[in-house]
Chain A
Amino acid sequence: MQCIYVTCVMKLITPKMDRREKNMLVLDSITKRFKKNTALNMISLSLPKGLHLLTGPNGAGKTTLLRIIAGIIAPTTGQVSLNGISLFSDSVRFKARIGYLPQKFGVYPEMTAQKFLRYFADLKGIPASVAAQKVEEVMDIAKITSFHNKTLRDWTKGMRQKVGIAQGLLNDPELLLMDEPLSGLDPQERYYFCNLFSQLSSERIVLLSTHIIEELAALADSIMLLDKNKLQFKGPIPRMMDTARGGVWLATLSEGEWNNKKTELIVSSLRDNNGLYEVRIISAVRPEITGVCSVEPTLEDTYIYLVSKDDSE
């Protein structure tokens, strides 16, 4: 009994410490209205440690959502908190825990990568005594230690992207937000960084937006599909694919048949087989085509299924 009492008292009087096991990003009813349109409508989610993908059609609001979480723009309504720290009432503590990579970003062209990262280390409040070491550390992780004497003006897009990723890691963030982080990288680099993000996600929340789900599908813990201002899906990828089961069909059409039907069908892929078209059709009901059969959905099928769902409703 005494042990329980002591433990309770200790929990009460110990200041709230950030315990890694409690990593959680919580969004509560985030809505964002611009003058001309509504970008986000009542988005709520809670993300634990792990690798989470944010996907959706262009203009769906992915970048806006990431900007809101990063504290760059304010939502019209709603709350954001990380490990119990609110973005709005405690922005310094919140931002001290995040790293953010925008979709498009510029650099000071006359700076070397080292200077640039040192500048951001200072901007993130990293004490001078550890800043230099931090810069070296992230340059090593992002694989940009060679050519660090070259000014950023002379760096290729892909190399600059790596500098951006390095910048996001400077303060050992508990939440890593990245908007299309793999763009501009060659296949070898994409492979390396996909693995890097996966490894990093064992210790923190990694949320990244991407168009190309396939690359990260095997490594992701969950996926969120943002379309028409709402979260159409959030959860593990296999569960997402379950939703499309029974909605994907395979048919073989002649050129004439295809020309007749193509305007009324939603298609995820089309393959030309010597004049015959092999078509994967997305439809909630069985399409009226002879010889059509139901098939297991692929990731791409699922995406199109979910994105085109609301159009027909």
Chain B
Amino acid sequence: MVGIISDEELARQLQQGNEIALETIIARYHSKIFSYIYRMNKNYHSANDVTQEVFIKVCRNIKGYNAEYLFKTWLYTIASNTCKDYLKSAYVQKTIPGFAVADNIRDYEDTPEEFLQKQDEREAIIEVLNQLGDIHREVIVLRFYEDLKLEEIALILNIPVGTVKSRLSYGLHTLKRLLKERGGELG
């Protein structure tokens, strides 16, 4: 583990204006934050804009970051709040655009049939996820895709850990029901 610098140390360096620290932080978190926002916003182009906004806020407010708290938590809190602001202000399309970039995620080892099937399955899960309420989808995204711990999610969303658990449970159970209704069997 020698040589792996902690997020908090990077943040401290960023407070001094260190650009190498900035590059390391972006290398670690650009993709994660982007994918988080993409799943929350459901739109590729706006995900790019919102991600940029998140990191700009981070840089502007970095001197206000207190190393007592985990950098990751702080970062995701900013991302979560920025997302919420965006979803409130913009006209958010309920349909799911962004399939034009499906090519990006094509696994070239798939046969055409496999690719289409994966497309279908992807569409299905996106659809049911969008049918979930924002608060439940958010917890699922943070837990399942961003791999954050329950305690971290509690801090980010400013809710008790118990509430995180119950939203996660409710969300997953609802997904199960919706998937069954949609396409029959599971498991």
Contacts and interface: CB of A to CB of B under 8 A. Distances in A.
Interface of A: 140, 143-147, 149-150, 156, 159, 188, 192
A147 B78 CA distance: 10
21 contacts: A140-B64, A143-B63, A143-B64, A143-B66, A144-B64, A145-B61, A145-B64, A146-B61, A146-B64, A146-B65, A146-B66, A146-B74, A146-B77, A146-B78, A147-B69, A149-B158, A150-B158, A156-B68, A159-B66, A188-B67, A192-B63
A148 to B, nearest CB: 10
Nearest to B12: A188
A136 to B, nearest CB: 12
The SS class assigned to the A binding surface is: loop
A186 to B, nearest CB: 8
Interface string B37-78: 000000000000000000000000101111111000010011
Contacts of B61: 145-146
Interface of B: 61, 63-69, 74, 77-78, 158
Nearest to A156: B68
Given A146-B78, A150-B158, 19 more contacts: A140-B64, A143-B63, A143-B64, A143-B66, A144-B64, A145-B61, A145-B64, A146-B61, A146-B64, A146-B65, A146-B66, A146-B74, A146-B77, A147-B69, A149-B158, A156-B68, A159-B66, A188-B67, A192-B63
What 4 A-B pairs have minimum CB-CB distances, sorted nearest first? A143-B64, A145-B64, A149-B158, A146-B64
Nearest to A186: B68
A192 B65 CA distance: 13
A162 B14 CA distance: 22
Contacts of B74: 146
A173 to B, nearest CB: 22
B112 to A, nearest CB: 49
A140 B69 CA distance: 18
Nearest to A142: B64
Nearest to A141: B64
A156 B68 CA distance: 10
Contacts of A159: 66
Contacts of A150: 158
A188 B13 CA distance: 13
Contacts of B64: 140, 143-146
Nearest to A139: B64
A149 B84 CA distance: 15
Contacts of A146: 61, 64-66, 74, 77-78
A145 B57 CA distance: 11
B31 to A, nearest CB: 23
A84 B181 CA distance: 79
A9 B85 CA distance: 57
Contacts of A144: 64
Nearest to A151: B158
A145 B65 CA distance: 9
A155 to B, nearest CB: 11
A143 B15 CA distance: 12
A145 B64 CA distance: 7
